[in-house]
Structure 1
Amino acid sequence: MPNVRRQSTLNGPAVTAGIELHGGEHTRLVMRPAPTGTGLVFVRTDITDRDNAIAVRPDAVTGVKNCTTLSNAGGVKVSTIEHLLAALAASGIDNLYIDIDGEELPALDGSSEPFLKLIEQVGIVRQAAPRRYVRVLKPLEVRNGDSFARIEPRERLELDVTIDFEDKAIGKQRVEIVPNVRAFRERLASARTFARMHEVAALQAAGLSKGGSLDNAVIVDGDQVLNPEGLRFADEFVRHKALDLLGDLYLGGPILGRVTTVKGGHGLNHDLLMALYGHADAWEFTSVATRSQARELESVSA
């Protein structure tokens, strides 16, 4: 028999709140179960004079500087979505309403771990309809200077991420991972967003990072990590980049393919998705998982 996995949503509402990383405002977020075929939809509950729903899709991306931002046709925005999307991707959540009363998701501790714990506390429900995967059929690559991102066919999602910074505290790091929920929980979820000290000043001068602090980001100054508690992993920086990549990729749904990035970021991640969906012969929809993919998916509820 073919391995057909069903769509999933949450077993009930999940609530969290906190300070926005860039905007500095306090926002409240509620994840609610949604019917099959809904997809992931942000709902700006503070907007009442126009369409306040923002579908999670690659063509809804309107900003990739420092975070990923989505907008609808009415200009309603939601930003810094990648940490939540990474947790949803690893958990295999297909359908969800995500209510938020501001323009940016709460930063929490700067990682995906608080979102993942919420999901696991509430629980996941399998739904009647089959899940739809995006199977990569041929290699594609996008470049920007010495940075590149490549996607190629595989029977499951695989990530290979390399970063290279002049800062001695970061340096060159690489991580490879098959991001099922178990591997995500153990290796990526708690990796925090990071910034270099000179970038923090520039971001604040530009009106960003108003809510950034050592409580929700790792700050590096040359060869030093300024956070008193230090790093959660020796290679926490590249692990967070892989987390961001997973979240950005989930804008296009669950993908079966190997994604390699070198010196990547939100912009390059988005360019790769748009290149993939811009080539009709490079992908296909499928509801049948290979045996290997089915084994990976079994760990969603582990």
Structure 2
Amino acid sequence: MQNTIKTAVSFSGVGLHSGLPARVTIKPAGPECGIVFRRTDCALGQNDIPALWDQVLQSPLCTRIVNRHGVELSTVEHIMAALVGCGIHNALVEVSGPEVPIMDGSASVFVRGILSKGIRSSDAPVKAIRIVKPVEVRRGDATARLVPHETLLIEFSIDFEDTAIGSQKKTLNMSNGSFVRELSNSRTFCRQADVDAMLANGLAQGGTPGVNAVVFDGDRVICPGGLRHADEPVRHKMLDALGDLGLAGLPILGHYQGARAGHALTNDLLRALFADPEAFEVVECDAEMGARLPGAGVHLREIPEVA
């Protein structure tokens, strides 16, 4: 059945790129509402932004959504991953500024907050998008693909010149609480050269290595305390992909394959999917199918402890 959070939960922090303070509150919402973001610092009646693929204003550094009034919200991918990974289908997410706060650079703070408040089911059945034929998009040497599968399976590979990252590959089934256990505490990362470029362009104003990001420079990991996982970078890319796939508006049953993919390419993939009605079908989930959806079987006790 469709789920929402039992009671509201709030978070405060700063935006990774803007450096601006913001407060986020996740509130319960009724069946069929989906996930809706609301800018509380903007005019009433113009400040709601549906969390949907066709609201995305593509950016290489984060996922940014915009409504028909031109109201934008940046860096929604981590909180979207938390909502999807916890099996939340309906919620109103209020944000007091132009960017969702980065917190510790992962989704674990949002996940812990959601699960600590509890999840409430409705009488409305969940609908899901079942992939029935392959869809693929490319940009240079980066690819993203969806193929049929009975669950949401995320497979990702990355390859960086920095030897501290190198080549990494991982595949995970997103049911049975695996997102919470395996991915939720993996932090955003970047190369030192990218940090320098972002700062020169007025971005990454809220970034601090070890606090909300992991920085790599050749064979060095610039992060007091070290990595949370030996393959934390690829795990974070999978976290991002789950959040970006959440903008489909319904849970996906299919195998996502990303190679050097980023936010824009995953959005390209959703646009290609919905442009081809023969590539998918919308199904109403019974109990067996529901047990294979992202978020099924999540427990607060499974959230990894973080330093």
CA 263–289 in structure 1, closer or farther in 2 if over 3 Å, else same: farther
Q: Give the equivalent residue in structure 1 for 2:123.
A: 128
Q: Give the equivalent residue in structure 2 for 1:229.
A: 225
State the distance in 2 between where 1:181 and 1:28 align.
31
Gaps of 5+ in 2: 301-307
What secondary structure sits across from 2:297 in the alignment?
A: helix
- The within-5 A match list for 1:250-269 is 250-252=246-248, 253-269=250-266
Residues 141-187 of structure 1, C-alpha deviations (whole Å, 9 max, x = no match): 11111111110111110011000001001000001001236211221
Q: Give the equivalent residue in structure 2 for 1:107.
A: 102
Amino acid at match of 1:246: L
Fraction of identical pairs, as percent: 41
Gaps of 5+ in 1: 1-5
- The within-5 A match list for 1:1-302 is 6-48=1-43, 51-180=46-175, 182-214=177-209, 215-252=211-248, 253-289=250-286, 291=288, 294=291, 298-300=296-298
State the distance in 1 between where 2:34 and 2:176 align.
19
State the distance in 1 between where 2:297 and 2:244 align.
22
- Detail structure 1 runs of 4+ shifted over 3 Å in the superposition: 289-293, 295-298
CA apart distance, 1:195:
0.9
Residues 227-254 of structure 1, C-alpha deviations (whole Å, 9 max, x = no match): 1211000000000000000000000020
User: Does the 8 Å contact 2:126/2:290 carry over to 1?
Assistant: no
State the distance in 2 between where 1:182 and 1:37 align.
23
State the distance in 2 between where 1:285 and 1:165 align.
37
Residues 200-247 of structure 1, C-alpha deviations (whole Å, 9 max, x = no match): 011111111000111100011111001121100000000000000000
Q: Which shifted more, 60-69 or 49-58? A: 49-58
CA apart distance, 1:64:
2.5
Amino acid at match of 1:229: G
TM-score (norm 1): 0.95
TM-score (norm 2): 0.94
State the distance in 2 between where 1:134 and 1:300 align.
21
User: Does the 8 Å contact 2:38/2:49 carry over to 1?
Assistant: yes
What's the RMSD between the two structures over aligned residues?
A: 1.4
CA apart distance, 1:134:
0.5
